[in-house]
Amino acid sequence: MGPLAGVGIVITRPARQSAPLASEIAALGGRPLIFPSIVILPPSDPGPLENVQRQLADYSYAIFVSANAVEYGVGDAAAWPKQLIAFAPGPGTAAALRGVGITDVRLPTTTMDSDGLLALPEFANVAGKRIVIFQGSGGREVLRDALLARGARVVQIDCYRRSRPTAGVQGLLEAWREGRVDAVTITSSEGLTNLWEILDAEGRKHFAGTPTFVPHARIGERARALGLAKVIVTPPADAGLIAALIEYFAARKS
Pair (52, 135) in one structural domain: yes
Residues 47 and 158 in one domain: yes
- How far apart are alpha carbons 232 and 195 in whole angstroms? 17
Together in a domain, 46 and 125: yes
Query: How many angstroms separate the Cα of 49 from the Cα of each of 42, 104, 145, 156?
Result: 10, 22, 20, 10
Q: Are residues 145 and 207 in the same domain?
A: no
Position 2 in a domain:
no
Residue 172 sits in the same domain as residue 154 = no
Q: How many domains does the chain have?
A: 2
State whether 93 and 189 are in the same domain. Answer: no
Q: Is residue 3 situated within a structural domain?
A: no
Q: Does 70 map to a domain?
A: yes
| pTM score | 0.72
Last residue of a domain, one of 111, 132, 162: 162
| Cβ atoms of residues 49 and 73 within 8 Å | yes
CATH number (domain holding residue 126): 3.40.50.10090
| 1 domain-assigned | no
What pLDDT shows up at residue 36? 94
> In what order do the strands lie in the sheet containing 231-233?
31-34, 8-11, 183-185, 212-214, 231-233
Evaluate whether residue 158 is within a structural domain: yes
Dihedral of the alpha carbons of 147, 218, 11, 77, in degrees to the nearest 10: 10
Q: Do 18 and 76 sit in the same domain of this protein?
A: no
Closest among 181, 243, 236 to 211, alpha carbons compared: 181
User: CA 132 to CA 205: how far, in whole Å?
Assistant: 42
In a domain, 101, yes or no: yes
Of 229, 204, 249, 205, nearest to 6 (Cα)? 249
What pLDDT score does 177 carry? 97
Domain boundary residue, one of 106, 140, 162 = 162
CA nearest neighbour of 198 among 224, 172, 179, 180: 172
pLDDT at residue 254, rounded to an integer = 62
pLDDT digit string (tens) for the chain, length 254 residues:
789 999 999 999 988 788 889 999 999 999 999 999 999 899 989 999 999 999 999 999 999 998 889 999 999 988 999 999 999 999 889 999 999 999 999 999 988 888 999 999 999 999 999 999 999 987 778 899 999 999 999 999 999 998 898 888 999 999 999 999 999 999 989 899 999 999 999 999 999 999 999 999 999 999 999 999 999 999 988 899 999 999 999 987 76
Domain end position, chosen among 130, 162, 194: 162
Domain carrying residue 61? 41-162
115 inside domain? yes
What is the Cα Rg of the chain in Å? 19
If asked whether residues 49 and 69 sit together in one domain, one would say: yes
Same domain? For 108 and 133 the reply is yes
Is 49 found in the same domain as 127?
A: yes
Residues 48 and 27 occupy one common structural domain: no
Q: Is 12 inside any structural domain?
A: yes
Q: Are residues 58 and 145 in the same domain?
A: yes
In this structure, are residues 82 and 103 in contact, taking their beta carbons and an 8 Å threshold? no
